[in-house]
Amino acid sequence: EAGVAQSPRYKIIEKRQSVAFWCNPISGHATLYWYQQILGQGPKLLIQFQNNGVVDDSQLPKDRFSAERLKGVDSTLKIQPAKLEDSAVYLCASSGLATEAFFGQGTRLTVV
């Protein structure tokens, strides 16, 4: 069974630039999550989709972050404009309903 795929693995951008991350979940998983993990901390939920609808985006900085999940499968997360404090690992995960969650390898973003 293929796992959760994310790209790119690494990205370095200057502050005020924009960046986009892509995630392909495990086939058949209705729930897709985007987490932000700052070095030395646990992951923090940014947004959760159920199929192509948003379930929870209460911690998403909506003035600069946006996410979509077209057709209930792949998802993209965008930051525009980026700030220095956005430097983190962005993790995508998927699961069935209340079942085991599986994570991708993450995208390490460095904003300089």
Partner 1 sequence: KQEVTQIPAALSVPEGENLVLNCSFTDSAIYNLQWFRQDPGKGLTSLLLIQSSQREQTSGRLNASLDKSSGRSTLYIAASQPGDSATYLCAVRPGNAGNMLTFGGGTRLMVKP
Residue numbers at the binding site for partner 1 (CB under 8 A) = 4, 6, 31, 33, 35, 41-45, 48, 50, 55-56, 91, 93, 95, 97-106, 108
For residue 63, give the DSSP letter. T
The nearer residue to partner 1, 6 or 75, going by C-beta atoms, is 6
CA atoms of 14 and 109, how far apart (whole Å): 11
User: Rounded to the nearest whole angstrom, what is the least distance from the CB of residue 109 to partner 1 in the complex?
Assistant: 13
User: Rounded to the nearest whole angstrom, what is the least distance from the CB of residue 27 to partner 1 in the complex?
Assistant: 17
CA atoms of 102 and 60, how far apart (whole Å): 21
Contact criterion met (CB below 8 Å) for 46 and 36: yes
The nearer residue to partner 1, 19 or 32, going by C-beta atoms, is 32
User: Rounded to the nearest whole angstrom, what is the least distance from the CB of residue 106 to partner 1 in the complex?
Assistant: 5
Provide the Cα torsion 95, 99, 104, 110; round to 10°: 90
The nearer residue to partner 1, 27 or 41, going by C-beta atoms, is 41
